[in-house]
A and B are shown apart, each in its own frame.
Chain A
């Protein structure tokens, strides 16, 4: 009888084998990117979607994002070196499509994230922190700084400084950012943990008193804060006992998607994640970070329900969605971290909360640069943007040009976002259609999910060589199933942004948001055809950047 031999692989010394690296750092990067501090689920959804259940809405967002994240696992392992939506879509749909979609709805639209990062840093980070320090220490200067930071001028100045500091940090060597990311991770976890604890150790009755005292400490002219805020909310149309609304709960998902859609952002750095073609690594990075972040968001929602009750959540939300000054504290919206600061008398606790939120806000602008400059470099190398964008600075070894271009482009967007652009009136961008960027970026991810679904058919050889090719479901490639589901759910969420007033774009008094959406797509198409012509005049075809050569 033959002896069964389980053979091992024969290697040469010159095998190039490297010990497997933990994907832990990419996992952390993804969670930081998903922004557990993002406030919109908690301050937008409750009054825009009265009757919605926040916890269930976050769970829906997780369920809708899960097949998209899984689709990306297949894509990232099939193309572990190239990385990114630009390459994924170009391989499946063609270079013109991939370039246009990613340039317009990522590179251009993420300029809004630069503005948002500044807004978060000012409104969610600096302002509450200094207000809290002002109250807990009695130092008026802190309160004044906090009030200034929440105003339009403060937000604009902080936003530009934020973008500039991030640029300096990133172009002078990525290792500087790496050191900083390590600190950010633990600071944010600590900060978030403290906020959770503060909500869990108070109750609605106590919290209302604490919020009132806090408001009075900042503005002695304020009394009976919570009652006045509630009254104003009722007058504005808030129902404090609405029936459960399933559609509304489903519509919370696109809002929470502002955080959870970034579970796949590490794919933009594909080439830098060693063993990125290992399926379980990518699953850990993307799906693992999605599970953890969704869990943390649910925890915060539950903690807030415990701490301030549904009534408190609705009052806080009315300050955002209805822009009620009575429901703000010192001009600041009642974000979760601001409320948490009201529940403590310790300046150290206030500082720890503030530090995490400030750092996570700053990290967002770093992410903007990291992802989009990599895309611009790739597009420059492929000939779809001028070579200038892909040049690496010889001293710092970073794509300085792409970073500088992005900063310059971000400045007018920061001004527009905060309605401070000379001669143009764009009043609602930082409020009603702040999540336009979720729509645009979500469109890219939805199309990448479709690319994943079609990968076995449109890039057959590539798919067959990939680790995910062995998984099938009911005779169909599993990637097609998850990709199709991801495309369906993503389309529903993207469509909701376009047509539901509660999600902002459709709620404004003019068509400006839709012009921006259409305009960025048109710009992408124009850039593609111009660059194609420029290359053709030199006897080069940009299509060669993506066209697969037949091996037979």
Chain B
């Protein structure tokens, strides 16, 4: 073996990267993601989209320096700074945002979805900026880079926080970037339509165009890692409950008293994997569909997500000379 061997090149050391996705605003899960570089001894961290949290908890001031909030269908009366701090921590784990407000302020938001959505963007962008800064700080003395991007659940406004990336953080959103001396990373954060009309959904026909546009910039697809948030259709990486979106919130479709499952992925992604045969396909979006699928010589993975329980599900992959030399699912 050469004394100095380039990372990722045939005959050299494999490049080890750690992939995770769908953490939806969960602070401890993100911190684990950043710490995973050292823990798993990897060369790069790749995030596969869906950074934004789903709920915003208003914490309303009450008499006597106390606060009131509602969580998981239960009313909480927080009686002091300690209880408030504990409540914040619970919300952080769950990936929720919060805003302390006076009763009058709360009433102004109540029923005003436009104002609520703006507040969501403000808080989510603030948290993402903090995350980018944390990653820059924690990885400053390392050679590890972290590649961040959005998923279908993230708004374009919030994703502008990724522009704060300086040195260790790479804004991979809709880009083709270098991973190591031999491999590139191509990222597409959109998904096929969902029952929730998320901000970054596209039809499969539109996804074909988006994928083609990104892959056109890849010098050698066989030495490229496809970081496509939406999993390939009917691959086993995209299996989820089929929902009746005509009601709100959507409800599971039942047959013979059992829920119906189906593949919610993208044919465009499946075709891209088969056509271009990248080094590996990394996907997320469907939290409960952890697994791997084969597309010719390319393996595609979905590590799943358990962010709500504070567990970081992920995947270590080792790549070298356009080949996947090893993988390990993780649950940290």
Indicate if A381 sits at the interface (CB-CB under 8 A): yes
Bound Cα distance A179, B259 (Å): 11
Indicate if B150 sits at the interface (CB-CB under 8 A): no
Indicate if A81 sits at the interface (CB-CB under 8 A): yes
Within B252-270, the residues touching A (CB, 8 Å) are 252, 254-261, 263
Q: Are B252 and A538 closer than 8 Å at their CB atoms?
A: no
Within A178-224, the residues touching B (CB, 8 Å) are 178-179, 181-182
Binds A, one of B109-117, B174-182, B204-212: B109-117
Within A525-544, the residues touching B (CB, 8 Å) are 535, 538-542, 544
Indicate if B297 sits at the interface (CB-CB under 8 A): no
Contact of B258 among A178, A540, A548 (CB under 8 A): A178
Indicate if A549 sits at the interface (CB-CB under 8 A): yes
- Binary B-proximity of A1-33 (CB < 8 A = 1, otherwise 0): 111111111111111111101001100100000
Residues of A within 8 Å of B184, CB to CB, are none
Within B54-74, the residues touching A (CB, 8 Å) are 54-63, 68-72
Q: Are A12 and B69 closer than 8 Å at their CB atoms?
A: no
Across the two chains, which residue of chain B brings its CB closest to A466? Answer: B309
> Given A538-B318, A545-B329, does the pair A381, B290 have CB atoms closer than 8 Å?
yes
- Binary A-proximity of B16-41 (CB < 8 A = 1, otherwise 0): 10000000000011011001100110
Indicate if B161 sits at the interface (CB-CB under 8 A): no
Q: Are A182 and B328 closer than 8 Å at their CB atoms?
A: no
Bound Cα distance A544, B36 (Å): 10
Across the two chains, which residue of chain A brings its CB closest to B101? Answer: A7
Q: Are B258 and A390 closer than 8 Å at their CB atoms?
A: no
Q: Are A462 and B311 closer than 8 Å at their CB atoms?
A: yes
> Given A274-B241, A397-B234, A540-B316, does the pair A15, B106 have CB atoms closer than 8 Å?
no
Residues of A within 8 Å of B305, CB to CB, are 81
Across the two chains, which residue of chain A brings its CB closest to B97? Answer: A10
Across the two chains, which residue of chain A brings its CB closest to B96? Answer: A9
Least Cβ–Cβ distance between A271 and chain B, in angstroms: 5
Q: Are A549 and B54 closer than 8 Å at their CB atoms?
A: no
Contact of B62 among A2, A392, A544 (CB under 8 A): A2
Interface band, chain A? 35 or more
Indicate if B2 sits at the interface (CB-CB under 8 A): no
Least Cβ–Cβ distance between B232 and chain A, in angstroms: 11
Least Cβ–Cβ distance between A333 and chain B, in angstroms: 35
The interface residues of chain A, by DSSP majority, are classed as loop
The interface residues of chain B, by DSSP majority, are classed as mixed
Indicate if A465 sits at the interface (CB-CB under 8 A): yes
Residues of B within 8 Å of A9, CB to CB, are 55-58, 70-71
Residues of A within 8 Å of B312, CB to CB, are 549
Indicate if A78 sits at the interface (CB-CB under 8 A): yes
Q: Are B196 and A15 closer than 8 Å at their CB atoms?
A: yes
Within A500-552, the residues touching B (CB, 8 Å) are 535, 538-542, 544-552
Indicate if B310 sits at the interface (CB-CB under 8 A): yes
Q: How many A-B residue pairs have CB under 8 A?
A: 215
Least Cβ–Cβ distance between B112 and chain A, in angstroms: 10
Q: Are A15 and B54 closer than 8 Å at their CB atoms?
A: yes
Q: Are A2 and B103 closer than 8 Å at their CB atoms?
A: yes
Indicate if A138 sits at the interface (CB-CB under 8 A): no
Least Cβ–Cβ distance between B139 and chain A, in angstroms: 15
Across the two chains, which residue of chain B brings its CB closest to A81? Answer: B306
Indicate if A495 sits at the interface (CB-CB under 8 A): no
Indicate if B173 sits at the interface (CB-CB under 8 A): no
Bound Cα distance A545, B29 (Å): 16
> Given A79-B306, A271-B288, A539-B14, does the pair A17, B35 have CB atoms closer than 8 Å?
no
Indicate if B298 sits at the interface (CB-CB under 8 A): no
Across the two chains, which residue of chain A brings its CB closest to B99? Answer: A10
Least Cβ–Cβ distance between B52 and chain A, in angstroms: 8
Bound Cα distance A210, B181 (Å): 86
Indicate if A382 sits at the interface (CB-CB under 8 A): yes
Least Cβ–Cβ distance between B226 and chain A, in angstroms: 19
- Binary B-proximity of A244-277 (CB < 8 A = 1, otherwise 0): 0000000000000000000000000001101001
Q: Are B331 and A81 closer than 8 Å at their CB atoms?
A: no
Within B194-243, the residues touching A (CB, 8 Å) are 196-199, 234-236, 239, 241, 243
> Given A4-B62, A14-B198, A81-B309, does the pair A21, B252 have CB atoms closer than 8 Å?
yes
Q: Are B256 and A8 closer than 8 Å at their CB atoms?
A: no
Indicate if B287 sits at the interface (CB-CB under 8 A): yes
Q: Are A549 and B287 closer than 8 Å at their CB atoms?
A: no
Q: Are B62 and A14 closer than 8 Å at their CB atoms?
A: no
Bound Cα distance A397, B240 (Å): 12
Least Cβ–Cβ distance between A273 and chain B, in angstroms: 9
Within A450-499, the residues touching B (CB, 8 Å) are 461-462, 464-467
Most buried by A among B40, B110, B309: B309
Q: Are B55 and A11 closer than 8 Å at their CB atoms?
A: yes
Bound Cα distance A76, B239 (Å): 21
Indicate if B79 sits at the interface (CB-CB under 8 A): no
Across the two chains, which residue of chain B brings its CB closest to A397? Answer: B236
Least Cβ–Cβ distance between B115 and chain A, in angstroms: 9
Indicate if A80 sits at the interface (CB-CB under 8 A): yes
Bound Cα distance A181, B255 (Å): 12
Across the two chains, which residue of chain B brings its CB closest to A20? Answer: B251
- Binary B-proximity of A357-381 (CB < 8 A = 1, otherwise 0): 0000000000000000000010001
Q: Are B257 and A542 closer than 8 Å at their CB atoms?
A: no
Indicate if A383 sits at the interface (CB-CB under 8 A): yes
Indicate if B326 sits at the interface (CB-CB under 8 A): yes
> Given A25-B257, A390-B291, does the pair A19, B252 have CB atoms closer than 8 Å?
yes
Contact of A465 among B61, B90, B326 (CB under 8 A): B90
Indicate if A345 sits at the interface (CB-CB under 8 A): no
Least Cβ–Cβ distance between A279 and chain B, in angstroms: 10
Indicate if B120 sits at the interface (CB-CB under 8 A): yes
Bound Cα distance A383, B257 (Å): 35
Q: Are A550 and B35 closer than 8 Å at their CB atoms?
A: yes
Contact of A81 among B31, B103, B235, B288 (CB under 8 A): B288
Q: Are B60 and A5 closer than 8 Å at their CB atoms?
A: yes
Bound Cα distance A546, B243 (Å): 32
Bound Cα distance A69, B14 (Å): 46
Within A417-474, the residues touching B (CB, 8 Å) are 461-462, 464-467
> Given A14-B198, A19-B252, does the pair A182, B70 have CB atoms closer than 8 Å?
no
> Given A16-B54, A397-B236, does the pair A7, B60 have CB atoms closer than 8 Å?
yes
Indicate if A344 sits at the interface (CB-CB under 8 A): no
Least Cβ–Cβ distance between B85 and chain A, in angstroms: 13
Indicate if A172 sits at the interface (CB-CB under 8 A): no
Bound Cα distance A382, B39 (Å): 17
Q: Are A549 and B332 closer than 8 Å at their CB atoms?
A: yes
Residues of B within 8 Å of A539, CB to CB, are 14, 16, 318, 325-326
Q: Are B329 and A382 closer than 8 Å at their CB atoms?
A: yes
Indicate if B279 sits at the interface (CB-CB under 8 A): no
> Given A5-B62, A381-B290, A465-B90, does the pair A551, B252 have CB atoms closer than 8 Å?
no
Bound Cα distance A25, B304 (Å): 24
Write 28 A-B pairs (CB below 8 A) sorted by A numbering. A6-B70, A7-B106, A9-B70, A10-B57, A10-B109, A13-B197, A15-B54, A16-B54, A18-B243, A28-B257, A82-B306, A82-B331, A175-B255, A178-B255, A272-B259, A277-B309, A377-B291, A392-B293, A397-B234, A465-B94, A465-B309, A538-B325, A539-B16, A540-B328, A544-B40, A544-B330, A545-B328, A547-B39
Closest 4 CB pairs of A and B: A549-B332, A19-B251, A392-B236, A538-B326
Q: A14-B198, A465-B90, A541-B328 are in contact. List 18 more A-B contacts (CB 8 A).
A: A6-B68, A7-B57, A7-B70, A14-B153, A18-B249, A25-B258, A81-B304, A81-B309, A274-B259, A377-B291, A381-B290, A381-B292, A381-B329, A397-B239, A535-B328, A547-B330, A551-B28, A551-B35
Which of B's residues lie within 8 Å of A, judged by CB? 14, 16, 28-29, 31-32, 35-36, 39-40, 54-63, 68-72, 75, 90, 93-94, 103, 106-107, 109-110, 113, 116-117, 119-120, 153, 196-199, 234-236, 239, 241, 243, 247, 249-252, 254-261, 263, 287-288, 290-294, 304-306, 308-312, 316, 318, 325-332
